[in-house]
A and B are shown apart, each in its own frame.
Chain A
Amino acid sequence: MGNLTRAFVSERTAGCIVTGFVLALPFLLSFNPYYTSVFVSALILGAVAIAWNLLAGVCGQVSFGHAAFFGIGAYTSAVLVTKWGFSPYLGLVAGGVFGGLGSLIIGIPAFRLRGPYFALAILGFAEVMKLLALNLTWLTEGSLGIMNIAPLPPLEVGSLKIDFYASRTTNYYVVALLMFAVYLVVYFLRRSNLGLAMSAVHGDDETAAGIGVNVFRTKAIALTVSATCTGVMGAFYAHYVRFLSPDTAFDGYWSVMPIVASLFGGMSALIGPMAGALVITGLDEFVFKRFFETGHKLFFGLLLAVVIVWAPTGLLGNRVGKRSEGDKR
Chain B
Amino acid sequence: MISATSVVQSLLSGMAEGVNYSLYCLGLAFVFGIVRIINLAHGEFLVLGGYIAYWLLVKWGVNPLLALPLAAAMAGVAAFVSYRVFLQRIRTSSELNTLILTFGLGIFLANLYLQLWTADIRNIGVDWMEQPLSFFGIYVSVGEILTILISLAVVFGLYFFLTRSRTGMAIRVTAIDRDAAALAGINVERVDLVAFTIGGLLAGVGGPLLGMLAHISPGAGLHITVKAFILTVLAGVGSIPGLLVAGMILGVGEALTVTFINASYRELFGFALFIAILVIRPSGLFGRRL
Q: A205 vs B172: C-alpha distance in the bound complex, in angstroms?
A: 29
Kindly list chain B residues whose C-beta atoms are within 8 Å of the C-beta of A329: 36, 95
**Residue A25 CB within 8 A of the other chain:** no
Contact B229 A120 (CB under 8 A): yes
Kindly list chain A residues whose C-beta atoms are within 8 Å of the C-beta of B146: none
Task: Please give the distance in Å from B107's CB to the nearest CB on chain A.
Answer: 3
**Residue A167 CB within 8 A of the other chain:** no
Q: Could you say which of B96, B111, B223, B267 contacts A321, with CB atoms under 8 Å apart? A: B96
Q: A64 vs B282: C-alpha distance in the bound complex, in angstroms?
A: 20
Q: Could you say which of A62, A116, A124 contacts B274, with CB atoms under 8 Å apart? A: A124
**Residue A150 CB within 8 A of the other chain:** no
**Residue B97 CB within 8 A of the other chain:** yes
Contact B274 A301 (CB under 8 A): no
Interface string of A264-297 (1 = CB under 8 A from B): 0000000000000000000000000000101111
Kindly list chain A residues whose C-beta atoms are within 8 Å of the C-beta of B157: none
Q: A121 vs B226: C-alpha distance in the bound complex, in angstroms?
A: 9
Interface string of A49-62 (1 = CB under 8 A from B): 00000000000101
Kindly list chain A residues whose C-beta atoms are within 8 Å of the C-beta of B154: none
**Residue A125 CB within 8 A of the other chain:** yes
Contact B264 A135 (CB under 8 A): yes
- Known contacts A62-B100, A116-B95; A301/B111 CB under 8 A: yes
**Residue B275 CB within 8 A of the other chain:** yes
Q: Could you say which of A109, A120, A297, A308 contacts B97, with CB atoms under 8 Å apart? A: A308
Determine chain B's interface SS by DSSP, over half rule.
helix
Interface string of B22-53 (1 = CB under 8 A from A): 00000000000000101010000000000000
Q: Which size class do A's interface residues fall under?
A: 35 or more
Q: A252 vs B103: C-alpha distance in the bound complex, in angstroms?
A: 12
Contact A309 B101 (CB under 8 A): yes
**Residue B134 CB within 8 A of the other chain:** no
Interface string of A86-128 (1 = CB under 8 A from B): 0000000000000000000000011011111101110111011
**Residue B161 CB within 8 A of the other chain:** no
Q: Could you say which of A131, A263, A302, A309 contacts B90, with CB atoms under 8 Å apart? A: A309
- Known contacts A115-B95, A119-B96, A135-B264; A304/B115 CB under 8 A: no
- Known contacts A309-B89, A329-B95; A301/B268 CB under 8 A: no
Contact B278 A117 (CB under 8 A): yes
**Residue B165 CB within 8 A of the other chain:** no
Contact B226 A127 (CB under 8 A): yes
**Residue A259 CB within 8 A of the other chain:** yes
**Residue B236 CB within 8 A of the other chain:** no
Kindly list chain A residues whose C-beta atoms are within 8 Å of the C-beta of B271: 124-125, 127-128
Contact A292 B96 (CB under 8 A): no
Q: A116 vs B99: C-alpha distance in the bound complex, in angstroms?
A: 8
**Residue B92 CB within 8 A of the other chain:** yes
**Residue B58 CB within 8 A of the other chain:** no
Contact B282 A324 (CB under 8 A): no
Closest-by-CB residue of A relative to B107 is A301
**Residue B105 CB within 8 A of the other chain:** yes
Q: Could you say which of A62, A119, A301 contacts B109, with CB atoms under 8 Å apart? A: A301
**Residue A177 CB within 8 A of the other chain:** no
Contact B268 A305 (CB under 8 A): no
Q: A101 vs B90: C-alpha distance in the bound complex, in angstroms?
A: 35
Query: Can you list 23 A-B pairs with a CB-CB distance of less than 8 A?
Result: A62-B96, A62-B99, A113-B282, A116-B38, A123-B222, A123-B226, A124-B230, A128-B271, A131-B265, A131-B267, A294-B119, A295-B113, A296-B111, A298-B114, A300-B111, A301-B105, A301-B106, A304-B103, A304-B104, A304-B107, A308-B97, A324-B94, A329-B95
**Residue B108 CB within 8 A of the other chain:** yes
**Residue A156 CB within 8 A of the other chain:** no
CB neighbors of A among B210-224 (8 A): 222-223
Closest 8 CB pairs of A and B: A304-B104, A295-B115, A301-B108, A301-B107, A298-B111, A305-B104, A295-B111, A324-B93
Interface string of B258-281 (1 = CB under 8 A from A): 000010110110110011001100
**Residue B86 CB within 8 A of the other chain:** yes
Contact B95 A121 (CB under 8 A): no
Q: Could you say which of B90, B115, B229 contacts A292, with CB atoms under 8 Å apart? A: B115
**Residue B2 CB within 8 A of the other chain:** no
Kindly list chain A residues whose C-beta atoms are within 8 Å of the C-beta of B233: 117
Closest-by-CB residue of A relative to B82 is A305
Kindly list chain B residues whose C-beta atoms are within 8 Å of the C-beta of A213: none
Q: A321 vs B90: C-alpha distance in the bound complex, in angstroms?
A: 11
Kindly list chain A residues whose C-beta atoms are within 8 Å of the C-beta of B114: 294-295, 297-298
Contact B95 A294 (CB under 8 A): no
Contact A134 B264 (CB under 8 A): yes
**Residue A303 CB within 8 A of the other chain:** yes
Closest-by-CB residue of A relative to B41 is A301
Contact A109 B278 (CB under 8 A): yes
Q: Could you say which of B38, B100, B275, B290 contacts A120, with CB atoms under 8 Å apart? A: B38
